[in-house]
């Protein structure tokens, strides 16, 4: 998809801090009402980046097999003996 650069499309910030993302940009990003977006300051600190939240990988099971439960149980037994 071609890069969309829009000049002269200014919008006012509403009383609740809301601003409308122009349709062309929403279409380019593939975001629709109800989608989540992340906000971040760019490197200069003078502009805001709006990025769609894509499916984030789950952390479930990522610590499996590290023996952390056994280590925690051993620590607990040692504290009980003190």
The pLDDT tens digits of the residues spanning 44-58 come to 889 989 899 887 777
Structure letter (DSSP) for residue 53: -
Which pLDDT value is given to residue 58? 77
Q: Tell me the H-state helices in 1-82.
A: 23-29, 68-81
The pLDDT tens digits of the residues spanning 26-47 come to 999 999 999 999 999 988 889 9
Which pLDDT value is given to residue 63? 79
* Residue whose tokens read 């925690």: 72
Half-sphere exposure of 28 (CA within 13 A, CB side): 13
pLDDT exceeds 90 at position 17: yes
pLDDT exceeds 90 at position 61: no
Q: How far is Cα 79 from Cα 82, in angstroms, rounded to an integer?
A: 5
């Amino acid at each position: 998809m071609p890069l969309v650069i829009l000049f002269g499309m200014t919008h006012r910030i509403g009383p609740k801090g809301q601003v409308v993302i122009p349709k062309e940009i929403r279409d380019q990003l593939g975001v629709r009402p109800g989608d989540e977006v992340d906000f971040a300051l760019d490197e200069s600190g003078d502009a805001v980046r709006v990025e769609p939240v894509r499916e984030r990988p789950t952390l479930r099971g990522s610590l499996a097999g590290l023996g952390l439960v056994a280590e925690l149980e051993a620590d607990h037994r040692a504290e009980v003996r003190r």
